[in-house]
Structure 1
Amino acid sequence: LTQLAYADGAGIDMTKTCLQGTRTEILAKFKVWVTNTDSNTPRVLWLSGPAGTGKSAIAHSIARWWMEENKGIGSCFCFNRQATTRYERLFTTIARDLAARIPDLKDSLIKLITSEPALSATADVTQQWRKLLQEPLTNLAGGIPEPVVIVIDALDESGEAVSRRHILSILAKDATKLPSNFRILVTSRPLPDIGKVFNSTSDVRLESMDKLPPSSTKRDIQLYISQRLEGVKGFGDREFTRLARKSDGLFEWARLACEHIEFAKDFLTERQRFEQLTHVEGKELLDNMYTMILRSIMGDHPDNSTINRFCSVLRIVLSTLKPLPIDSLTILHSAASQGHNHGDIATVLGRLGSLLSGISNQSMPVRPLHSTFHEFLTNRDRSGLFFVDVQDVNVDLAHACLQVMQQHLCFNICKLESSYVRNSEIADLAERIKNCIKPYLAYSCQFWVDHIRALGFQAGLAGEIKGILLNEKMLFWLEVLALLKLMNMVPSMLSIVASWLQDGHGDVSAAARDGVKFARMIGGVITESTPHLYVSGLAFLPESSILSRHLKAKFPRIARIVFDGAIGWPPLQLSMRGHTGSVNSVVFSPDGKKIASGSSDKSIYIWDAETGLQVGNPLKGCTDWVTSVAFSPDGKRIASGSVDHTIYIWDAETGEQVGNPLTGHSGVVKSVAFSPDGKRIVSGSTETICIWDAETGKGNLLNGHMGGVMSVAFSPDGKRIASSSSDDTIYIWNTETGKHVGKPLKGHTGSVNSVVFSPDGERIASGSSDKTIYIWNAKTGKQVGKPLKGHTNWVRSIAFSPDGKRIASGSSDETVYIWDA
């Protein structure tokens, strides 16, 4: 189970729970919801409210009540705005937490990951939910007799709306498929995207902090303040009431006020700090509180050097793509400062304990205690003198990451003894990784390209990248990512670098492109047994590659291929095996990250285009050969045509069938295609084509061909369809009227097996069993130029290049030709 990603530091935080005696009404209400045995009780409850109103305290209190006090089964997951990829670990973390308490679930997940190892690396949250939680939990023999409580806190801090889109859909729709005794408590601010999903379903119970009686909130805040300041000399009900009234219902303000009165590192007495707090005016209570606390630390009129030290440190703390502990921040800050001394980071952060977590514990990541502090500091209008400008911070962080990698990467970093042993067989590997790959190095190896990508080209950084990629550090970097199970990121990372580099850095760009091929060739192997990066990977580097020339000399004792070694990179990058019948159709997803394949074994497989690993289970439902597959333009759906006369539509992320099969054809469906807007599907079969509404499944059969329809294609504007047939003709159809436009295009003397529009929609190309390719004017239907001849057997498939200047053709003569269009 340790192969499943786990979000460290995302669990219950006892310091965030409600103080004894506060929020009793809402906590009691939620406890009744948890223990209600009515099968109609909503499994999901959404608690919304403005920042600072105490949502997290309620969430962590419920988690503590159930898991700590009642020893119940559950999981708590707290989002954080800096942990940009934490959403990818939500369901894997919950699965591991539950498996630790449910033995049957643990056994089920171990068997699943053993049989489908790709699951341990996938970032597809829909697949994680279905395979790691929904399916195994609903199939447990005997079920789980007691309630299971899952707390998801601060969902609004999971990143941009697009990053939580699938999570919201799962919670709103798929959570109902869990056993009826499951309860999922979700807290967040009422952001539009979250509210839109949760408010539109009756399967989610809605609760809001705004609906709590103001008198109850004021009472709880006063009780909180009175307990926090109980030991402060001279303070009583009068002071507690004034502070509670001043808080205006914001628990975060009350917390900060108590922290400031008790622990502020200034020369004021507790009474003076109290008077200072109660006399601060303004509508933005938290902003005023932050300003006052920072002035108490740095003075009312701090000098430039003080402000510069503060901003230099906080811009790094706020801008890392994953929170880091103080020692790692110190190393990154030092590297980012490029020799300029802006003071000891621990000294600066040590005074901000009321505003940042992780200050008193060197191993804990440092992050703002509340999201509003981040928002305050990075908004000039709100923070004024204390504004932290993060606009150009990526330059410094990119430089820092590259410097850290240059200084700390080394050969065999975890001291692995043998290439005969798989990583999974090394008992203490997790401990070695923790001790040898420190957070600052892991961060640098994982995120340096993200910081580069946010910048325009910079020659200085290009030189630093050269020092990594044209050096043995390149191998050491791959070694770290293999140990961290992040090799699937490498091709996209290096592709970004190759595109980012400009003319004059051809050798570095070539090394990046070689790195993409090398990672694809060896990534799966070294994730299983990392020493094979050197033992096997280096040996198989093609002699002509720039990596071979720069790296092999650094390792003179590795094995050498002395006969029939590769000169250049092999054209074959990946081989994907799984089908048990001929593969009749393959297609890339629009973003190039996935491949779908349809087979005579009646199934469709989805593959990771970078690693070649299978994504999810095969899509099954067709009762005969799958002849054609197509992705929708947004990549969310797959259409498949089959010998069983049907078209199926599939959810490309969950693998589930969408609606019923589309029926209407009376013969084999040989070709399917989506319209450019994804709203329609066209299919070709025996003597007919059909235009389908992709949402409703309603179809419109078009007749005209006298033979089987071999190929169909939409024009780029979606207004026309071209169809080709074994009757040697091509028809053009109006998609709105369903009538063919003009006369059939005739000229071929054999079955027309493939037809395609040019990218501008002005031309149509067709390939035929008469061994020729024709080009047609799409408006007039007239032939353009002479037939393209050269193939010695049937032309099976054709395609235009994106610029429309070339045509590729594939033939039964076992060749692919490229033609000037």
Structure 2
Amino acid sequence: MQHVVKFVGGIDTTVSQIDTISSTYLRPLKTFNSVVGTIANIHPYAQIALGLLTSATQLVITQANLDSSVSSLLAKVQNVYEFLLEKDTLSNLCTMKDTLARIAQVINNYAQFIKNYSETKNFWKRLGENVGTETQTTINAYNKELDELMQQYRDRAVRDIYINIDHVREHLNLDGMARADGAGLKPTKKCLDGTRTEILKEIFDWVRDPDINTPRILWLHGQAGRGKSAIAHTIALWSKNMGGLGSCFCFARDRQTERREEKMLSTIARDLADRDLPFRRALAKAIEKDNSLKTTGDVMHQWEKLLLEPLKVSGGVFGTVVLVIDALDESGGNSSRKHILKVLTSSEAASLPCNFRIFVTSRPLSDITLALGRTQHVKAVSLDNVPAIYTERDIHLYVSSELKGHEGIGEAEINQIAHRADGLFEWARLACEFVTLRTLGQTTAERFADLMAQSSGEGAKLLDSMYRAILDNLMDKVGPTALTRFHSVMRQVLFTLEPLPMDGLNSMRRYFSHQRGNYKVAIVLDFLGALLSGVTEGTDPVRPLHSSFYDFLTDQSRSGAYFVNQSDIQADLAVASLDVLRDGLCFNICGLESSHLLNSEVPDLAKRVKARIPPHLSYSCRFWAKHLQSTKFDTALAMHVRDILGNEKILFWFEILSLQGVLGSAAPALVTTGIWLQGKEGYEDIAALAKDGVKFIHNFSNGPAASTPHFFLALSKL
């Protein structure tokens, strides 16, 4: 346990020190430490929670004589450990592991609270605030959380108790610091409970390893469909529930236009700041000295100024810190992750504090393998090498949970599906969707027979056969029109630069120049729920459930008749985007009452933006120029450009970009447009307007009106 103490708290408590402290409060804590060492063969999640409780115990012991202000909280902690030592509690560690983890999180927060108590006390006094009142408020919150969680454990019922105790909050402004939206933890993507136990235990053992020489980075790699992301989200969720998650950052193929790689480290820094007050102070001071750090896209600069230096100044972040980076291979081309790989393989990464762990998942692409596979401080683990007996067992458990109760599906059928999956969880998921899909005149048993008739193979070939089977079944007896519409709708879904919900897709589609037939995307997408997300809810963006489906559809050698190419789609999206702007842009779109307020001073601005700027209009404002850049010059398309740049609508476009916080993208869009129009006779005036727009943005950004939330003041000066 001494190693755990050094790892988590950086302390070393000797027996003589412990014996000098009042045994009234501390005896249950010391007893708990000795009992934990005798517990074996329990769920790895419960194991981690016990380890966290043990480490927090040692820290509490060293801080127990602070003063009487925390004595009531110490008494509550004593009660908690007495409760944990009860026979009934110990016998249900696995069944109540989630509640145990939340108890561990609160105790860990408490340990951090008393660790920083002296500093906090002095800080409050400097501000002239009442330390007793603030301390008692925090202690009351801890007591309430612990009471509720212990009662939940006694009731054997898992309820959603929100734990977020802020021991000290200062007004440290990090507003405006780049953060990637939607890149965080998604609990629904975690592994099915009871599966992947061996690989999860290996990862958790690495997280908890007290050896100072333990590699700071673990790279989990494997072919598509192995379940890497599910493992990543499981690690992140468990770490969060036990107070050890520093940040979870996920790349996605359909979000590459956001250039998430430039926001990864700033997002991680923000997440660490939300968790640790000393780090937040150090980060705020760094930004105060250099405000450009809020928006810099320079990965190496972020690494140095937003992470390494604040860690050094703050003295490090307390407790286990797990940083999860999922699907690094989906960041884009090699250049998109060049600097991230440089950071991960640097000597600074190797010498991060010993309580830091960085967990990375990806396919074994050549550039990632070359970088991470040969670095001493990176532990490489391949999912492709997990023994088949384990993966088949786990897939069997998953298939059983999905097909339980379906007529015609018994143990023999489940065994066949699990075996046929050949270690691919994505194939197993698709197989379950295929078997349970209701079709006219066909039984579940017959659909199972159709599934087993499909050719088997390894890796991508196995997934391809499943995709073809699902699409063949959908296209059977529907005629060539259905296939044509499938191509048209999927072309829009795959090559739209940011996923749109179904209403947004329909709104854009109305403007397609070559559109034949007035139909909505639902006549295709409603049948693709096994392959796409967002098709049942209606309001969520539509995107492939797995990146391998994108790979399948865009490779003609794999998809055959279902191949989706890019022909005409860029021109369609350019025309549609410009026409959406023509019809949707207007003066003061969010109905703001004053033009002299900062964006941050409009209390309901985010609500207004969401209500007044629909997804297809937002998309068109941000991406029309990118689609234009991907097309050849066309006179009809140039007239659409004139409709926006040739009148006041350009200012309304600026306004929306400002409201969304992306005004900086206007100048590059106009430069791109100027290049597209360059040398085209009869369109010199539009090119000049684009050039003037760039000057206007530059002058506006440096003028007195730069801080206004929209462009009333700018308009009045024209």
TM (norm. structure 1) is 0.63
1:346 aligns with 2:522: yes
1:529 aligns with 2:707: yes
Match of 2:7? none
SS of aligned partner of 2:511: helix
Query: CA distance change for structure 1 residues 457 and 211 in 2, over 3 Å: closer, same or farther?
Result: same
C-alpha distance in 2 between matches for 1:125 and 1:360? 38
Which runs of structure 2 are paired with 1:298-447 in the superposition (5 Å)?
Answer: 298-299=475-476, 301-336=477-512, 340-341=516-517, 343-447=519-623
C-alpha distance in 2 between matches for 1:368 and 1:518? 40
C-alpha distance in 2 between matches for 1:110 and 1:476? 34
Tell me which of 94, 97, 119 is aligned to 2:271.
Answer: 97
Offset at 1:191? 0.4
Match of 2:227? 54
Indicate the structure with greater helix content.
2
Judge conservation of contact 2:249–2:325 (CA < 8 Å) in 1: yes
Match of 2:293? 119
C-alpha distance in 2 between matches for 1:359 and 1:20? 27
Query: CA distance change for structure 1 residues 237 and 318 in 2, over 3 Å: closer, same or farther?
Result: same
Structure 1, residues 384-405: CA drift from partner, whole Å, max 9, x if none?
Answer: 2222122431111111111111
Query: CA distance change for structure 1 residues 467 and 412 in 2, over 3 Å: closer, same or farther?
Result: same
Match of 1:290? 467
1:469 alignment partner AA: L
C-alpha distance in 1 between matches for 2:705 and 2:570? 30
C-alpha distance in 2 between matches for 1:317 and 1:125? 30
Structure 1, residues 212-262: CA drift from partner, whole Å, max 9, x if none?
Answer: 112222222122212221222232221111111211221110110012212
1:473 alignment partner AA: K
Judge conservation of contact 2:229–2:326 (CA < 8 Å) in 1: yes
Aligned-pair RMSD on alpha carbons?
2.1
1:245 aligns with 2:245: no
SS of aligned partner of 1:185: strand
SS of aligned partner of 1:395: helix
Structure 1, residues 301-345: CA drift from partner, whole Å, max 9, x if none?
Answer: 431221122111111110111222222222122223566435221
Offset at 1:160? 1.0
Judge conservation of contact 2:286–2:310 (CA < 8 Å) in 1: no
Tell me which of 180, 183, 187 is aligned to 1:10.
Answer: 183
Offset at 1:110? 4.0
Tell me which of 229, 232, 247 is aligned to 1:75.
Answer: 247
Judge conservation of contact 1:483–1:527 (CA < 8 Å) in 2: no
Judge conservation of contact 2:321–2:355 (CA < 8 Å) in 1: yes
C-alpha distance in 2 between matches for 1:236 and 1:214? 22
Offset at 1:208? 0.6
Structure 1, residues 575-607: CA drift from partner, whole Å, max 9, x if none?
Answer: xxxxxxxxxxxxxxxxxxxxxxxxxxxxxxxxx
Query: CA distance change for structure 1 residues 532 and 216 in 2, over 3 Å: closer, same or farther?
Result: closer
C-alpha distance in 1 between matches for 2:592 and 2:282? 30
Structure 1, residues 42-65: CA drift from partner, whole Å, max 9, x if none?
Answer: 221111111111111111111111
Offset at 1:437? 2.5
Match of 1:274? 448
Match of 1:633? none
Query: CA distance change for structure 1 residues 241 and 377 in 2, over 3 Å: closer, same or farther?
Result: same
Offset at 1:197? 1.0
Tell me which of 185, 189, 204 is aligned to 1:31.
Answer: 204
Count of aligned positions: 537
Match of 1:584? none
Tell me which of 169, 172, 176 is aligned to 2:345.
Answer: 172
Query: CA distance change for structure 1 residues 74 and 362 in 2, over 3 Å: closer, same or farther?
Result: farther
SS of aligned partner of 1:150: strand
Match of 2:192? 19
Tell me which of 514, 520, 529 is aligned to 2:692.
Answer: 514
Which runs of structure 2 are paired with 1:737-756 in the superposition (5 Å)?
Answer: none
Query: CA distance change for structure 1 residues 559 and 402 in 2, over 3 Å: closer, same or farther?
Result: closer
C-alpha distance in 2 between matches for 1:525 and 1:119? 21
Larger Rg: 1
1:470 aligns with 2:651: no
SS of aligned partner of 1:77: strand
Offset at 1:507? 0.6
Offset at 1:360? 2.6
Offset at 1:150? 1.4
Offset at 1:528? 4.4
C-alpha distance in 2 between matches for 1:7 and 1:267? 47
Indicate the structure with greater strand content.
1
Return 5+ residue gaps in structure 2 as ranges. 1-173
Match of 2:335? 162
Which runs of structure 2 are paired with 1:425-574 in the superposition (5 Å)?
Answer: 425-501=601-677, 502-525=680-703, 528-530=706-708, 533-535=711-713, 537-538=714-715, 558-559=716-717
Judge conservation of contact 1:298–1:306 (CA < 8 Å) in 2: yes
Judge conservation of contact 1:482–1:523 (CA < 8 Å) in 2: no
C-alpha distance in 2 between matches for 1:346 and 1:281? 31
Structure 1, residues 83-122: CA drift from partner, whole Å, max 9, x if none?
Answer: 1122233223323333322233334444444553333332
1:205 alignment partner AA: K
C-alpha distance in 2 between matches for 1:130 and 1:358? 39
C-alpha distance in 2 between matches for 1:358 and 1:215? 35
1:293 alignment partner AA: I
Structure with bigger RCO (C-alpha 8 Å, 6+ apart): 2
Query: CA distance change for structure 1 residues 333 and 117 in 2, over 3 Å: closer, same or farther?
Result: farther
Query: CA distance change for structure 1 residues 462 and 270 in 2, over 3 Å: closer, same or farther?
Result: same
Judge conservation of contact 1:526–1:532 (CA < 8 Å) in 2: no
